[in-house]
Amino acid sequence: MGRYVARRLIYLFVVLFAVSAITFGLMHAVPGGPFDKEKALPAEIIRNLEKRYHLDEPLLNQYLRYVKEVFVPEFSTTKFSSNFEDDALFKFKIGGVYVKWMNFGPSYASRSRTVNDIFRQQLPISIQLGLMALLVAIIIGMPLGIIAALKQNTIFDYISMSVAIFGVSVPVIILGPVLIWIFAVTLKWLPATGWGSKPPYLLGFLPTSMGWNFFKYAIMPPVALGLASSAIIARLTRASLLQVVREDYVRTARAKGLQERLVITRHALKNSLIPVVTILGPMFAALVTGTFVTETVFGIPGMGKYFVISITNRDYPVIMGTILLYAVFLVIANLIVDILYAYLDPRIRYD
């Protein structure tokens, strides 16, 4: 298993090189640049800006410079300055040598922030939101799917699947304001906007205190974001369980005289979860990176908006950083899914 994970992590780097090269090529192929404004800047200023950010160099040099900045650690005997060029996601000191690693570069759109700042301050909030939305999706989706399958073609099935259809059909941009109107404006139970965690974060993304002051902000947004996914999980769980209860080994379990409850919990459920676990990986990646609308509706300072506005701004470093991040999430989430597979199904072994 250890070797398998190591191999997959090496693949991760291959994927990242491919994704970075394609993204880099595409974003430079699109017309327009970061300094094109409605009111055009004087040519002299644009030239200076491009020189400052090395945009006047050949594309290949720019790409190699980017790869070097991100992947290759830099060492120095003197302390790094706080200039954006000397910034990095990881800066530390070992035995008198200063090390910096992973500099994702400045943001062209907001001169005071770097992409590293976005990863340090906004990303943890989006991860928290995405994780909780995934949790909501599982907690609502799986029981709905199980009930629907066990009571197939009864009123329970129809109600569960109606809730699921409702969940997919109502977008966050409707559900969010409705939730705010009910729970914040009318009932005054929860705050309408904001987020309850601040840096520093445990492991880079976990809030340090998880009391009511955190959760009162973290109830409506995960529900709004996760409901559509819960509907997908519900439908998948239902279909999968319906298939499994027709399997021969479920009949064997009944023929052995097991109580119906044991037939389902011991013999059917674990088998039926395998396809559900498959979609959790991409679903998690999509939830963490698809938070734009939710964050806007609930006024959450996450990184969702950077995904969207970086494209229109042609903010090259932010585009590269967010796309690479998405790739990392997707690969790691799928790796975790594959590890879960081996746990769920003993026929799968990676050694």
- Give counts: helices (H), strands (E), the chain: 15, 3
Which of 213/252 has CB closer to other proteins? Answer: 252
CB 300 within 8 A of CB 129: yes
Place of tokens 């009318």: 186
Which of 20/271 has CB closer to other proteins? Answer: 271
Which of 76/252 has CB closer to other proteins? Answer: 252
Taking the complex as a whole, the smallest distance from the CB of residue 54 to other proteins amounts, in Å, to: 55
Taking the complex as a whole, the smallest distance from the CB of residue 335 to other proteins amounts, in Å, to: 21
Which of 49/242 has CB closer to other proteins? Answer: 242
Grouping H, G, I as helix, E, B as strand and the rest as coil, residue 202 is: strand
CB neighbourhood size of 96 (10 A): 6
Which of 267/314 has CB closer to other proteins? Answer: 267
Structure-block tokens of residue 274: 């395998």
Taking the complex as a whole, the smallest distance from the CB of residue 320 to other proteins amounts, in Å, to: 42
Taking the complex as a whole, the smallest distance from the CB of residue 152 to other proteins amounts, in Å, to: 10
Which of 159/344 has CB closer to other proteins? Answer: 344
What's the gap between Cα 334 and its chain centre? Answer: 12
What distances in angstroms separate CA 233 from CA 143, 197, 241, 280, 334, one per listed residue? 10, 29, 12, 9, 17
- Strands across the sheet with 74-76, in order? 74-76, 97-101, 90-94
What's the gap between Cα 2 and its chain centre? Answer: 25
Residues in the chain: 351
Q: Tell me the residue type at 170.
A: V
Which of 75/249 has CB closer to other proteins? Answer: 249
Q: How far apart are CA 103 and CA 117, in angstroms?
A: 10
Q: What residues does 99 pair with on adjacent strands?
A: 75, 92
φ, ψ (nearest 5 deg) of residue 291: -95, 5
Which of 268/325 has CB closer to other proteins? Answer: 268
**What is the dihedral sign for C-alpha 149, 154, 160, 162?**
positive
Interacting residue ranges for other proteins, rule: CB under 8 A: 246-249, 251-260, 262, 266-267, 270-271, 344-347
Taking the complex as a whole, the smallest distance from the CB of residue 272 to other proteins amounts, in Å, to: 11
Which of 127/149 has CB closer to other proteins? Answer: 149
Dihedral class, residue 282 (left if φ above 0, else alpha if ψ from -120 to 50, else beta): alpha
Taking the complex as a whole, the smallest distance from the CB of residue 271 to other proteins amounts, in Å, to: 6
Taking the complex as a whole, the smallest distance from the CB of residue 147 to other proteins amounts, in Å, to: 19
Taking the complex as a whole, the smallest distance from the CB of residue 254 to other proteins amounts, in Å, to: 6
Taking the complex as a whole, the smallest distance from the CB of residue 279 to other proteins amounts, in Å, to: 19
What distances in angstroms separate CA 57 from CA 69, 103, 153, 311, one per listed residue? 16, 19, 66, 21
